[in-house]
């Protein structure tokens, strides 16, 4: 069956309208995503670039629809009598926009990778600072406990704390979310009162080992997340740049001829 030629002009018009709406709505979306504008902040740049790249395919589809609509219209000879200058032709501006977006997405690649690396370095430094502080607090607490157990009165205070903590746990006065910490502290007090010197050394070593392990896990997570972000957004942006540049420059070169 042959399709009715009546629908061909409508199809061309529909493609142009849909393409134009997709292009304009995408540009408006990019503008609102940038509000509030904090271009000098690395966190803002990372968030905006990620959203920009995630929505980067929509203008390309819109440009393709627009060009397809004009091509379909030209294939029917509908625009043969309309001789317009390039400035008055929407295809020219769509191709210019494509070239511009291609350049933007190309520049985004090194910018995003650099921001990801710097943000990762900042997070790792903050992690190291927290670990150092935690280790210092553990050592300070161990010294306080060691000073207490050397004094008979201090040892008696620890035993009193252990008794009170046991009563609090058994009576249910300790909230459920604090039960693990309370039980761990009770175990520590029990070990200290039985063999203070050995207990303090073991607890300090165990705490430091746990902190070191947690630090390594967090470092791995941070580095893995940074690598995934750099590769995902960077490669997507590069592919978008290639697509936009091919469409824009090839189309402008054809229009020039």
Q: One digit per residue, pLDDT tens: the chain, 257 residues?
A: 444 555 578 888 899 999 999 999 999 999 999 988 888 888 899 999 999 999 999 999 999 999 998 888 887 765 444 556 667 788 889 999 999 999 999 999 999 999 999 988 988 888 888 888 877 877 777 777 667 666 666 667 767 777 887 788 788 777 776 777 777 777 777 766 666 666 667 767 777 787 788 888 888 888 898 899 899 999 999 999 999 999 999 888 877 66
C-beta neighbour count of 189 within 10 angstroms: 19
Does the pTM surpass 0.85? The reply is no
pLDDT number for residue 173: 79
Rounded-to-integer distance, Cα 228 and Cα 183, Å: 39
> 219: number of CA atoms within 13 Å, CB side?
13
> 203: number of CA atoms within 13 Å, CB side?
23
Rounded-to-integer distance, Cα 158 and Cα 173, Å: 20
pLDDT number for residue 8: 76
Asked whether the beta carbons of 190 and 162 are under 8 A apart, the reply is yes
pLDDT number for residue 189: 72
Cis upstream peptide for 36 (omega within 30°): yes
């Amino acid at each position: 069956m042959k399709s009715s030629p009546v629908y061909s002009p409508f199809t061309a018009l529909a493609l142009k309208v849909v393409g134009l709406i997709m292009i304009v709505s995408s540009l408006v979306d990019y503008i609102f995503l940038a509000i509030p504008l904090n271009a000098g902040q690395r966190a803002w740049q990372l968030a905006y670039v990620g959203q920009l790249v995630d929505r980067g395919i929509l203008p390309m589809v819109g440009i393709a629809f627009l060009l397809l609509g004009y091509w379909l219209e030209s294939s029917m000879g509908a625009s043969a009598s309309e001789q317009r200058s390039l400035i008055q032709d929407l295809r020219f501006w769509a191709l210019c926009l494509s070239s511009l977006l291609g350049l933007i997405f190309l520049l985004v690649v090194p910018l995003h990778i650099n921001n990801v690396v710097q943000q990762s370095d900042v997070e790792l430094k903050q992690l190291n600072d927290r670990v150092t502080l935690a280790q210092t607090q553990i050592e300070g607490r161990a010294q306080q406990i060691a000073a207490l157990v050397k004094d008979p009165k201090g040892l008696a205070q620890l035993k009193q704390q252990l008794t009170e903590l046991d009563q609090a746990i058994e009576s249910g006065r300790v909230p459920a979310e604090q039960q693990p910490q309370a039980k761990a502290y009770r175990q520590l007090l029990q070990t200290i009162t039985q063999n203070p010197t050995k207990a303090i050394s073991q607890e300090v070593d165990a705490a430091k080992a746990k902190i070191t392990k947690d630090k390594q896990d967090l470092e791995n997570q941070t580095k893995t997340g940074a690598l995934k972000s750099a590769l995902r957004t960077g490669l997507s942006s590069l592919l978008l740049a290639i697509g936009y540049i091919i469409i824009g420059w090839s189309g402008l070169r054809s229009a020039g001829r």
